[in-house]
Chains A and B, each alone.
Chain A
C-alpha cells in the first residue's frame, strides 16, 4: 500500500509536474502569441469568425506606393493651377521670326485651328510661367511617318523647348499614331510626363484620370461656333424607326489589323433594313488581296449614297478601322444616327464627363452577329431619347474645334478641382451639368454650386419674385424735373418689383442727377468714371447688384411703370433670354457683302436694345468676365455701342434662342435721327467683327412679342391689369 502510495505520490508529482510544465508551456505559448499577431488571430477567430480582425483596422503597411503610370498626382504640378487655370501656347517659328511665313509648313490645318482656338480662349495666357497647361508649337497630330504631316526630329525639338521640363504640365494632341502595318497606339516619341489628348485611344495605354480621349476630327471641321446637328437640318427626328435599322459604308480589310471585324461586317447585311456596304478598294495594292466577293461588293458600294444612308438609318455601325477611332463616330452623332461602336478597347471621347450610355451603344466585337437582334428590341422612347442626346452632345461638345478644345480644357480643370469664389469647382452635380441642357460649356460650376443661381433652371419652390436692379447709364446732367432721366427714375420708383436703382454716371464733372424725393426702391448714384475705359464696368456695377434680374437702361429711355413691371414678369419665365422693349434685326446685304442692322419696324427681330432690357446677372457677373474669347473681349471693350450687340450675341450663343420683345413699343425715343444713324453704323461694325470672333452668327429671329393677356381685347378697362400699356407707342 505504502509502496503503491509512494508510487502513486510519484505519479502524482509527475502528473503535477506535467501539468505544471504544460501550464508553463501554455503560458509561454500565450506570451509568445502576444508577440505574434498570427496567434492572436487564432484565439480571436474562435470567438468570432469574421474575416476582419482588430489589427486589420490599424494594420501598418510599410510598403511604398508604386506608380508605373503617370497620374495627376505624380506627373502634374497641380499647384500651378490652384489660383487660376491658364493655358499657354508656344509661339510658332515663323511668328518668332516676324511673320516671314512661307517656307516650311508649320502645322496641319487642324492643328492650326486648335492653336488659334486656344489662343483666343478665355483661359489663354501669354506668360508660360503663370500657365497651368502648356501647348506645343509642334504639330503632333499625325505620328504616322508615312504621312505628309509627320513632323520629323520631334525629340530634338522637344528638348529645345526651354520650359519642356520633361513634359510636365504639357498637353499633347494626337489624331493618328502608329503606322503600317501594326498601327501601334502608342506615340513614337518620348512624351515624358505630358498629358496626351488623343483620338483612337486604346484602354490599355490610356491613363485614367490623366489622359484625354478625343474624337477623330476631320480637317474640314468648323473652327468656331456652335451648330445644330443633322436632325434639325433634315427635320428627321421622326419617324423614330427610320427606313434602315443599321447601316455601314466603308472599307473591308481583307487582311491585317482590324480585318477580323471589318471582314465580317458584310454578313449582317440582310438586303432589307441592315445595309452593310464594304469595299475592298483601299491602298495601292488592294487587288492583290481581293477575293471573289470584291467585284460584287464594289458594285453595291457605289449604288448607295452615304449621306442618304446615314440620315435614313436608326443606328449606324462605327467599327474600328486600322486604328480604333473612326470618322464615322462624329458623322453618325451629327446625323442623329445612333452610333453602335464596335471597337474593343476604344476609350470613348470625353467619357469622363459625357454619359455616352445616353446616346450610343458599345458592343464587344465578339458580339457582332448579335447586334441586329439586340437593336431590334430597343423600345421607341429609348431610341428617341438617344437621338435627342446625339444632337445635344454634338451641338454642345463636338460641333466645332472650339467646342472640342474647350471640353478638353474643362476636363483638366475638373480634375484639378479649383476652388474659386468660395465654391468647389468640381461640382457635385457635374454629371447633371454636362449631360443636360444647357451643358457644361455654358455653365461654369465655379460660379455657383446652386443650379437656381443660373438662368437656365426654374426653381421648384418659387417664393415671391425677388425683383430687379435697374442700372441707368447717365452722361448728361439731369437736374430738371422734366428731363428724361428724372422722368424715367420717377417711373422706376413706382415700380412694384424694383429693388434698387443705380445711376451709373460717366458724364463730365460731378454727377448731376436729381433723385426723386419719394422712391420705394433704394436709389443710388455712383460715379463710374474710374472704370470708364471698360464699358462693361459702367453698365454693370457688380457690387450694387443683388437681384438675379438686371434692367439695363439709358438715360433717355422712356418707359412707363406698367411696362417695366410687365417686362419683369415676362422675364421671370424667360430668365435665360434677353427680354427687351425695342427690337432690331440683322440681315445680310449681298450688295455690301456684310451684315447690316435695321432699326425700323419689322415683322421680326433678332436683337433687343440694352437701352431697355432685362437680363440675368449670370451673364454679367460671370460670362462676361470668364467665358468670352479674347477677340470678343477686345471688340466689346473698345466700343460702348457694342455692349448691346455683344450681350445679344453671348446670350443667343449660349441658349440658341432669340431674345424676347415685350409690348408694342416701337422706339425708346429721344434719339435724333443723326444719333440713330450712328447707332446703326456702330451696330454694323459690331455685328461683323463679332461674327468673325464667334465664328458664326448666333442670332436667331423671333416673330412674336409679349403682350398682356387682355391687350386691346374687348374687355372693360378696369379688368385689365396693364391697361396703360395699350397707349404706349
Chain B
C-alpha cells in the first residue's frame, strides 16, 4: 500500500484521484477480509462460525456428541490396539508411526475446505510432524503403522474450536474411536471449560501427550506428560547458562497468575526472613505489563527483573502455580537456566516424562506444610546441589531442549511400552548416579552366597605342556570340593590327548577346544562351567595342597564378589618416571592376584566377555599378555576393593621353574608394567587397583592349639 502511494506522487492529479479511490477501496476490502477471516477462522471456542455454508449446517446437525467424551477409564490394554504393532524380526520391533498428510486429509472432507483456520499450523506443530517424519519410527503406509498422528494442530487449546476439531478427528480415515492416535496438547485448557482440569481433547481413546496432568486426571501407562515448550523465552545456547558457581540467590519463587493467594501468603510467611534478607526472591507478572515476556516483578521490592535471565542467578527455583496442574512453560525456563527446581508436592503434578525420568535426581520436593524447614536444607546441601545441577543439564539437554527432543522422547516412551523387552533401562534414561562411589556404575548388586556343597569348577588354560597339565589335574583333583574340570585347550592345531591318556581322577573332565589361541578364551562363560565358583589355573600350578585349595574356596564363599587368589603381586607408582610399575617382590602389600591360581564368581566371565570394552579384550588377545592384570582391573573397578590373597604360599611350581606364568625375564616385567599403564589410561581418572596390607589365613594358622586344625597343610611357601 505505502509503496503504491509513493509512486502516485509523481502522477497527474486525475490519475492520482482514481488511484486514491481504488486504493481506499482495496484498503477497505483488505480490512473487511482481515476482520472476516478473524471472525470466521477464530470462532470463539464452541460458538459456530458466523458464515454458514452447507457444510456447517451439516456440522451443526450432529447432535450426538458422544465422541467428545473423555474416556477416563482407558488403560493401555483396554484402549490401545497392541496387535497392530508388528512383532517379527528383532530389528523390526519398533512402533511405526503414520502422520496423516494434511492436504489429502482435507481433500477427503471437501465440505470443510472453506475453513481457513484448519490451515493454521504453528511452527512447533509443523516441527513435531517433521521430526516424526524423519525419525526411525516413521511409516508412510497407513496399513503398516500402529500409531497415528492427526494433521491438526492441537498444541494450544485456547486457539481451537473444540467441536470442529472433534468433528475433524472423528472423520479421519483410521480414527477408530481414537485408539492408537496421538494428540499433542501442551496448553490444553480452554475458556469454555473453566471448571475442569481434564484436557478436553481427550476424544475417545486417544493417547494424550499433554502438558497439564495431575495424578487425578492422568491415566498412568496411557497418557504421556510432556513439557510445555516455551518458544518465547527459548535460548538454544542454554549450555552457557549452566554455570554452577556464581549464583547469588538461593531461591527464586515464580508466582503464576491465578495462584491461590492463601498459598502465596503461606509461602511469604514461611520464608519471611529470607525474603527480607534478599536470598529469596518472589516474582510475579508486572502490573502494567501483564503480557511481558522478558520481565517479572519482585513482589517485595517491587522492581522489574529480567526474565528468564534472573533464574540463572539462583540456585533453586520454585513455581507456585494455580494448582490445577496445567503445565507451565516456566518450568522449562527453570531447567534451561540451570536452576534446580523445587517442586511443591501438594499440587501432585505428573511431571514431564516422569514415567522414565527420575525427577528426584535433580529436583527438591516439598510439602507446603514443610516450607519453614526448607531454607536450612537448601542452604546446607552443597554436595547435593552440584549433583542436581549436573543432572538438570543432562536431562534438559537430552529431553527438553527443543521440539524435536520432546517429540522423540515421547515416541521413545511409547516404543518402550509396546516393546518392553527392548525397553531402555532406568540408567539408559537417567544416566548413572555419579556419586563418586565405586560400586555405583555397574548396577552392582551383591552376588548371592553359594553353598559349599555346590563345589567349584577348575578351569585350566592348557596349550601343549601335557606333563605339567596332568600333574596339575592330579593335584587339584584331591580337593574334595572340586566339582569338575573344564580344560580350555587353546592350541589351534594340536589336538588334546585322548581321554584315555589322562590321569585317572574321580571328577569329570570336560575339554573345550577353542578356535584360536586367545587369552580371552579362559574368561569365556562356557555353559560347561556349571558352578558359580571358578578356580582358574595355569596348566603348571602343581604344588598346591588340597587344604590350600579348600581354604581358598571357603574364603571365596565368604567373599563371593572378590577375586580370591594365591599368587600376590603389587603395583606401585614411580614418581621419578611418573608411571605405574608392576612388581612381584615379596612386599607388605597386595593389589593384584594372578588368575593362574585364583577363585572368583562365574559372573565375571560374563562381565569380561559381554560388558567390557571390546578394544581392551582385543588388545589382550593381540599382545598375548596381561589378561590376568586386566581381570584384576575389571573386578576392582566393580567392587572398588582389592583382591584377596589367601595363604602364605608364594611359589606354585617346581623350584627350578619360573615364578611367572609365561616368561620369567625382565622383558616380561617391562611388558607387564606397560600393561598397567595402558589399562590405567583406559580406565581414565579413576585408577581401579587398590592395595591392602593383609592376607587371609586359616583361623588357627600358626596358633598352638589342641584342637584339630581344619586346614593343617596350609603354611608352605
Contacts and interface: CB of A to CB of B under 8 A. Distances in A.
B and A form one assembly: yes
Interface of A: 8, 11-12, 15, 18-19, 22, 25-26, 29, 38-39, 41-42, 45, 48-69, 71-73, 78-79, 82, 203-204, 207-210, 228-229, 231-233, 235, 237-241, 344-345, 355, 357-358, 361-367, 370, 373-374, 377-381, 384-385, 388-389, 391-392, 416-417, 419, 422-424, 426-432, 435-438, 449-452, 457-461, 566, 569-570, 573, 583, 600-605, 656-658, 661-662, 664, 666, 700, 702-715, 719-722
B518 to A, nearest CB: 19
A437 B444 contact: yes
B436 A461 contact: yes
A256 B190 CA distance: 44
Question: Can you list the 7 inter-chain pairs with the closest CB atoms, starting with the nearest?
Answer: A458-B640, A235-B454, A51-B122, A603-B710, A51-B155, A344-B77, A706-B694
30 contacts: A8-B17, A18-B28, A22-B31, A50-B123, A50-B232, A51-B186, A61-B258, A61-B326, A232-B451, A238-B529, A239-B530, A240-B527, A358-B426, A361-B420, A388-B445, A423-B381, A424-B365, A428-B361, A438-B446, A566-B694, A569-B692, A570-B692, A600-B707, A707-B697, A709-B568, A709-B588, A709-B693, A709-B695, A714-B717, A722-B588
Contacts, number: 442
Given A232-B450, A374-B87, A431-B426, A12 B370 contact: no
Nearest to B559: A657
Contacts of B366: 417
A241 B525 CA distance: 12
A238 B450 CA distance: 11
Contact of B420 (A72, A357, A423, A715): A357
B446 A56 contact: no
B58 interface: no
Interface string B445-459: 111111101100000
B125 interface: yes
Given A50-B232, A60-B257, A457-B437, A66 B195 contact: yes
Given A22-B24, A55-B291, A370-B87, 19 more contacts: A51-B155, A51-B156, A51-B159, A51-B231, A58-B256, A72-B348, A82-B370, A237-B448, A237-B602, A344-B75, A344-B78, A355-B425, A358-B443, A366-B77, A388-B445, A429-B360, A459-B438, A570-B694, A707-B697
A709 B232 contact: no
A15 B21 contact: yes
B590 interface: yes
B141 interface: no
B626 to A, nearest CB: 23
B558 A66 contact: no
Contacts of B291: 54-55, 57-58
Nearest to B195: A63
A605 B360 contact: no
Nearest to B642: A573
Contacts of A55: 290-291
Contact of B156 (A38, A56, A57): A56
B686 A460 contact: yes
B360 A430 contact: yes
Interface string B222-238: 00000001111000000
Interface string B358-377: 10111011110110011011
Given A61-B189, A656-B449, A603 B700 contact: yes
B703 interface: yes
A69 B348 CA distance: 12
A50 B694 contact: no
B27 A392 contact: no
Nearest to A657: B558
Task: Determine which residue in A8, A63, A370, A452 has the highest number of CB atoms from chain B within 10 A of its CB, and name it.
Answer: A63
B348 A209 contact: yes
B583 to A, nearest CB: 13
B551 interface: yes
Contact of B425 (A50, A72, A358, A708): A358
Nearest to A377: B90
Nearest to B233: A57
B450 A705 contact: no
B588 A708 contact: yes
A704 B388 CA distance: 43
Contact of B641 (A56, A573, A703, A711): A573
A458 B696 contact: no
B293 A54 contact: yes
B648 A712 contact: yes
Interface in B635-692: 639-642, 645-646, 648, 650, 686, 690, 692
A204 B218 CA distance: 11
A457 B446 CA distance: 12
Nearest to A62: B194
A497 B399 CA distance: 48
Contacts of B31: 22, 25-26, 29
A357 B437 contact: no
Contacts of A203: 75, 220-221
B82 interface: yes
Contact of A429 (B323, B361, B447): B361
B325 interface: yes
Interface stretch (B174-182, B466-474, B603-611): B603-611
Given A460-B438, A604-B699, A710-B588, A449 B214 contact: no
Given A449-B383, A658-B558, A51 B701 contact: no
B695 A707 contact: yes
B698 interface: yes
Contacts of A18: 24, 28
B17 A11 contact: yes
A160 B198 CA distance: 38
A49 B122 contact: yes
B690 A709 contact: no
B694 A707 contact: yes
A604 B551 CA distance: 12
B433 interface: yes
A705 B696 contact: yes
B692 A573 contact: yes
Contacts of A719: 586, 588
Nearest to A664: B703
Interface string B365-404: 1110110011011001101100110010000000000000
B514 interface: no
B158 to A, nearest CB: 7
A615 B407 CA distance: 52
Contact of B645 (A49, A432, A709): A709
B140 interface: no
B377 A392 contact: no
Contacts of B590: 709
B196 interface: yes
A541 to B, nearest CB: 25
B247 interface: no
B558 A65 contact: no
Given A52-B230, A203-B221, A451 B435 contact: yes
Contacts of B425: 355, 357-358
B421 interface: yes
A460 B329 contact: no
B135 interface: no
A672 B568 CA distance: 42
Contacts of A722: 588, 693
B450 A235 contact: yes
Nearest to B87: A370
A355 B426 contact: yes
A361 B419 CA distance: 11
B606 A63 contact: no
Contact of B365 (A231, A426, A431, A700): A426
Contacts of B75: 203-204, 344-345
Contacts of B445: 388-389, 392, 435-437
A238 B285 contact: no
A374 B693 contact: no
A493 to B, nearest CB: 22
Contacts of A713: 586, 648, 650, 717
